Structure 1
């Protein structure tokens, strides 16, 4: 089974995967990237303010990048705007 390496970039540093994971096909690679991004990001958000992007770069055994995915966090302070308790009714 082919081995793929999932490197993570947090906007500041690249963490290279030295062990890799065996994946049977392209869909398995995509699923591994999709599941690993939130796991890596959850302890890091927000690292530096209210904007952060996490990218996974997937390499195959020949060291070619074959897939990439990005998870973005964006926070925004709204100030003193109250959140409505219910939606206003529309006039006919």
Structure 2
């Protein structure tokens, strides 16, 4: 039976997942990767106006089989207020 893990990357920190998570279905791993992205954003709001968050599904051989990416982009539409 195949096993999968999910790594995360938020531009500052790459965290490798553990195969002990019990993921044996690639579709369940995909679903978990997608659901991890909002939590990643809540846990680490960027200092600037741009940040990329990724959740990567790897199989038991370490091969990346799926990547979910969320790009956060903030843009001023008026004159930027003083800091």
TM superposition score category, shorter chain reference:
0.7 to 0.9
CA RMSD, Structure 1 to Structure 2 (Å): 1.9
Partner Cα separation in structure 2 for residue 39 and residue 73 of structure 1: 13
Q: Quote the residue 1:89 is aligned against.
A: none
Q: Would you tell me which structure has more helix in proportion to its own residues?
A: 2
Query: Hey, what does 1:26 align to over in structure 2?
Result: 26
Superposed displacement of residue 79, structure 1? 1.7
Alignment of 1:1-92 (within 5 A): 2-45=2-45, 47-79=46-78
Structure 1 19/61 Cα, relative in aligned 2: closer, same or farther at 3 Å?
Answer: closer
Post-superposition shift, 1:24? Answer: 4.5
Write the distance in 2 (CA, Å) between the matches of 1:29 and 1:20: 13
Unaligned 5+ runs, structure 1: 81-92
Q: Structure 2 unaligned runs (5+)? A: none
Count, aligned residues: 79
Larger radius of gyration: 1
Q: Which deviates more from structure 2 when the two are superposed, residues 19-28 or residues 53-62?
A: 19-28
Measure, in 1, the Cα distance between the counterparts of 2:20 and 2:73. 30
1:9 CA displacement: 0.9
Partners of 1:73 and 1:18 in 2: CA distance? 27
